[in-house]
Structure 1
Amino acid sequence: MTVAYDVVIVGGGHNGLVAAGYLGRAGLRVLVLERLGRVGGAAVSERAFAGVDARLSRYSYLVSLLPRRILADLGVRVELRRRRISSYTPWQRDGRAGGLLVDGGDAGRTGESFRELTGGEREFAAWREFYGMTGRVAERVFPSLTEPLPSRAELRARVDDPVAWAELFERPLGEALERRFADDVVRGVVLTDALIGTFTHAHDPSLRQNRCFLYHVVGGGTGDWDVPVGGMGAVTGALAEAALAGGAELRTGCEVVAVDPGGAAGPAEVGYLDADGVERQVGARWVLCNAAPAELERLLGGEGRGGERPEGAQLKVNMLLRRLPRLRDGAVDPRDAFGGTFHVAESYRELEGAYRAAAAGRLPSPAPSEIYCHSLADRSILGPGVPEGSHTLTLFGLQLPARLFAEDPVGVRAAALAGVLAALDGVLAEPLADCLAVDAAGRPCLEVRGPLDLEADLRLPGGNIFHRDLAFPFRDGEPGGAADAGRWGVGTGRPRVLVCGAGAVRGGGVSGIPGHNAAMAVLGR
């Protein structure tokens, strides 16, 4: 077969676009094949409600891991806004309703909120000590994510903190949380970062929770989660422009149906259906896969990887409100409460109870979730026809694994939605339904997607938003696969096929890091 391209990239999500940008700028002939009618993957902005000019970040919604270095290398200009409020967590005790407000711009206000909850100074001091530690780890680990993959020993030396290494990399996270914190609410706020999209618990011996937590606290070298101005589509739109400017060719509506990995001497071959449904083949020196590893195995003619199907564990609810709802806690302005991450039913005991219920095959009650209001930081996503005072809300439900939806996806999705909204109503002074806007047909502006919907929409096996379980950002022993692929954590065991998506060793989240690292592996050879 004639080798028409140096690199064919399977999937036009943000990581594929990053890889295309780097490789095109290096002078390689690059083709990106995207199944959907647009690029961007899960990082897109769309008008989800008929007749309503609001561009929601429909799937992914915040940015933490995307290095400024990648944006600078590709000449990409996007604006990421820092949220002053980190989080707000309603609580009710002894007939009192309050809320733990973590204000990143006012340590005194945060300390007072801790004292109101716990009656003393201990928890706030423990909080500052713990996040001081994670901040130092972030400063040391984050730069390594766009460098050759370090060994375990090399990364440990880089962290240079035996306590941090033990708590984050070697022992179940629950041990550190129970030793450091006494309050159930405070423990829960910390634990939530270990459970985003991951079905696990604080004492899981596999350390699945530790890996998830690490990626959530090292982003940007600070752990801050920023709002992309213009929505996620603005980020991937700029990356697509950078790829095109570098000479890459982007084809949408083209579904890859098979990958022949080639051999040491021969080229790889990609079979795909073009936009007209015509079957075509294209040869390349390299194939970079921006799909999940299990999906790549299917394209290679296998049954999947590792024998265990990936599983997501979340419910995503997009909403448009006429106004923000009033809170039972009258001491906090709703604009502050919803300005960061709004935690619902996420105390330590509630998160553990939700895990045990779901593991036993039941929907959790109360249903834990966290909520984000993009429009408080960025009004540009709301068009001029949207009334003043309107806001978007994104609700992300936890501990809702795909297995719960398998028998009755539609019915269980409706029940799960009812559960998370009931838990939210429990901390509001008015029903959320009274605040929802309506679309052109008079229907409430509310969209819900469960794990199996993400599998259908985006080909994420089991709805796993990370493509598979996250991995620690180091290698044990020698790199696997071809030397440069192993050095960058993107190898597949097939010399001409690399992973460039979230399933890479340093994948997960909206980061561009796997795309960068796969490009570096190709350019190194």
Structure 2
Amino acid sequence: MPARDAYDAVIIGGGHNALVAAAYLARAGRTVVVLERLDGAGGAAVSTRPFAGVDARLSRYSYLVSLLPRTIVTDLGLDFRLRKRTVSSYTPVQRAGRPTGLLVGSGPGTEEGTRASFAALTGGEREYEAWQDFYGRTRRVAERVFPTLTEPLPTREELRRRVDDEETWRMIFEEPLGAAVEEHFQDDLVRGVVLTDALIGTFAGAHDPSLRQNRCFLYHVIGGGTGDWDVPVGGMGAFTDALAAAARAAGAEIATGHEVVSVETDGREAEVAYRTRDAEGTVAARHVLSGASPQELATLLGEDPPAPAEGAQLKVNMLLERLPRLRDTSVDPRDAFAGTFHIAEGYEALARAHDEAEGGAPPGAPPSEIYCHSLTDPTILGPDLARRGWHTLTLFGLHTPARLFRHDNTAVREQLLRATLAQLDAHLAEPIESCLAKDAEGRPCIEAKSPLDLERDLRLPGGNIFHGDLAFPWAGQGTGRWGVATAHPNILLCGAGAVRGGGVSGIGGHNAAMAVLGH
């Protein structure tokens, strides 16, 4: 139970953004309580042992880190590390009747290998040079835009001047991304690899006039000022455990098993009602910060919630006794799965899958991508499993909007899981199911989560991992100086629904805390 009746800040939800906000506010001398519905803090950024009797801690929902500013780790003194991947991606394909693929390295010393892989796939230098030019542009945008994410929101024109590159500004911020992809690249597979960063958790086509694909792409290529996606050592739960420890050390209270049921405010003071398994209570606060979605917050306030923007991902966790062999024998599976392994993600294949789902049918060849955490960080496995060569695989399916599951969630989820694994098997020399480990009860170590499962488990409206459509990171959207304001002066968004929220970043929590502290 909360230790007092009134606080400077009550934070709804105990996800990673809420913990960031709690730590900053408590370090500034504010009294803070976090009210979390579940039995543990962390929200979607948690590690669990999903398979009975098996000593493997998987990052269950979110799994890689790119957008976390180093300043948050430093400011809060977090005992937390990230590890670089040596491979960015591998994309298998059949060309001229034989298995081949595109292997893209990550970091210094991998350039020549990447160049050779492009040449082997496309027969020349053009696509590699276009790749270097395109991602040179996004790198410059990252260097200029990422630092603004923990500053007060710039205006659109201020951000445009900061980017200082009209052609790149146009291709990312003004025209559907498909135009730039088709202008820069000729090869269907290369085009598809580029487009996937615009579709993670976002249901859109390459030429969607809403530009939601552009906004998704932006946040996927600017993280850390480099666009790199790194592996959290110890799993995602190591990050949220470190945040919870930092918040508690600063004096914040974290009350798990406390479900907020209503919020009342007059703009200056607020009252938050909650319930536990065996009691009900209320706490007063000067400020309320919501890590819950804007839809959930509106419901708590007794207001009409905004329409949800549906999620569009199939999340699959697997534990393997061994990595599968590939049909493309030129690539070591340890390289192929260390980065992002793209499946059925050619440009035209992505368009077909989108059109099928838009028409209400599950894609016949579902696109997805996989990576193996344990290749970069084996600490998530018990010593015996690591010694025996076991590995985790995390799969993220695209173009599977929540609408497809509304009629029969279980049946459609199983149908899409089978179809997705079949697409993977098409590039393997042995079926993935033959590599799956078994749990203590003899069941295969695989679990799948649809958008509706995320809606149920994590209160994500429509299963949307971003709490709604992402927004470009500039002012003028009614969300105040820090992008966290609501219609009520003392109630702020601190989660993924804030402007510049989404992904494992802590940015929403940081910015909400800065707003409370008057920065």
Contact 1:186 1:347 in 2 (8 A): yes
The amino acid of 1:66's aligned partner reads L
The amino acid of 2:478's aligned partner reads G
Q: Distance in 2 between matches of 1:324 and 1:235?
A: 27
| Structure 1 match to 2:30 | 28
| Structure 2 match to 1:254 | 258
Tell me how large the CA RMSD over aligned residues is: 1.0
**Are 1:238 and 2:245 matched, yes or no?**
no
Measure how far apart 1:328 and its partner are.
0.6
Q: Deviations over 1:330-379 (max 9, x none)?
A: 00000000010000000000000000000001111211000010000001
Measure how far apart 1:388 and its partner are.
1.6
**Are 1:379 and 2:372 matched, yes or no?**
no
| Structure 2 match to 1:190 | 194
Q: Distance in 1 between matches of 2:116 and 2:73?
A: 39
Give matches, 1:245-394, under 5 Å.
245-264=249-268, 267-274=269-276, 276-305=277-306, 308-386=307-385, 388-394=388-394
Percentage identity across paired residues of the two chains:
67
Q: Distance in 1 between matches of 2:289 and 2:452?
A: 25
| Structure 2 match to 1:228 | 232
| Structure 2 match to 1:144 | 148
Counterpart of 1:78 (choices 77, 80, 99) is 80
Q: Distance in 1 between matches of 2:296 and 2:419?
A: 32
Q: Distance in 1 between matches of 2:305 and 2:423?
A: 37
Q: Distance in 1 between matches of 2:299 and 2:334?
A: 47
- In structure 2, the residue corresponding to 1:392 is in which secondary structure? strand
Q: Distance in 2 between matches of 1:184 and 1:261?
A: 54
**Are 1:212 and 2:216 matched, yes or no?**
yes
Q: Distance in 1 between matches of 2:505 and 2:105?
A: 25
| Structure 2 match to 1:434 | 434
Measure how far apart 1:161 and its partner are.
0.6
Contact 1:321 1:391 in 2 (8 A): yes
Give matches, 1:50-199, under 5 Å.
50-104=52-106, 105-199=109-203
Contact 1:339 1:372 in 2 (8 A): yes
The amino acid of 2:41's aligned partner reads V
Contact 1:80 1:226 in 2 (8 A): yes
Counterpart of 1:491 (choices 477, 485, 497) is 485
Counterpart of 1:49 (choices 45, 48, 51) is 51
Contact 1:88 1:99 in 2 (8 A): yes
Measure how far apart 1:88 and its partner are.
0.1
Query: Where does structure 1 differ by over 3 angstroms across 4 or more consecutive aligned residues?
Result: none
Measure how far apart 1:230 and its partner are.
0.3
Q: Distance in 2 between matches of 1:35 and 1:424?
A: 37
Q: Deviations over 1:138-179 (max 9, x none)?
A: 000000000000000010011111011100000000000000
Contact 1:208 1:469 in 2 (8 A): yes
The amino acid of 1:521's aligned partner reads A
Measure how far apart 1:493 and its partner are.
1.2
Q: Distance in 2 between matches of 1:173 and 1:164?
A: 11
The answer to which of 2-11 and 74-83 deviates more is 2-11
Q: Distance in 1 between matches of 2:329 and 2:266?
A: 65
Q: Deviations over 1:463-488 (max 9, x none)?
A: 00001000000023xx636xxxx100
Q: Deviations over 1:277-328 (max 9, x none)?
A: 31211100000000111111111112312xx222000000000000000001
Q: Aligned residue pairs: how many? A: 513
Measure how far apart 1:3 and its partner are.
6.2
Q: Distance in 2 between matches of 1:71 and 1:309?
A: 32
Q: Distance in 2 between matches of 1:279 and 1:239?
A: 27
The amino acid of 2:470's aligned partner reads L
- In structure 2, the residue corresponding to 1:21 is in which secondary structure? helix
Q: Distance in 1 between matches of 2:156 and 2:101?
A: 40
Contact 2:5 2:282 in 1 (8 A): no
The amino acid of 1:493's aligned partner reads A
| Structure 2 match to 1:515 | 509
The amino acid of 1:203's aligned partner reads H
**Are 1:480 and 2:468 matched, yes or no?**
no
The amino acid of 1:494's aligned partner reads H
Q: Distance in 2 between matches of 1:5 and 1:103?
A: 50
The answer to which of 276-285 and 406-415 deviates more is 276-285
Contact 2:65 2:229 in 1 (8 A): yes
- In structure 1, the residue corresponding to 2:283 is in which secondary structure? strand
- Unpaired segments of 5 or more residues in structure 2? none
| Structure 2 match to 1:460 | 460
| Structure 2 match to 1:424 | 424
- In structure 2, the residue corresponding to 1:310 is in which secondary structure? coil
| Structure 2 match to 1:447 | 447
Contact 2:92 2:328 in 1 (8 A): yes
Q: Distance in 1 between matches of 2:267 and 2:447?
A: 46
Q: Distance in 2 between matches of 1:281 and 1:78?
A: 34
Q: Distance in 2 between matches of 1:209 and 1:270?
A: 37
Q: Distance in 2 between matches of 1:459 and 1:239?
A: 21
Q: Distance in 1 between matches of 2:473 and 2:58?
A: 31
- Unpaired segments of 5 or more residues in structure 1? none
Contact 1:262 1:269 in 2 (8 A): no
**Are 1:408 and 2:408 matched, yes or no?**
yes
| Structure 2 match to 1:203 | 207
Measure how far apart 1:200 and its partner are.
0.4
Contact 1:3 1:285 in 2 (8 A): no
Measure how far apart 1:94 and its partner are.
1.6
What TM-score does the superposition give when structure 1 sets the normalisation length? 0.97
The amino acid of 1:96's aligned partner reads R
| Structure 2 match to 1:506 | 500
- In structure 1, the residue corresponding to 2:383 is in which secondary structure? coil
What TM-score does the superposition give when structure 2 sets the normalisation length? 0.98
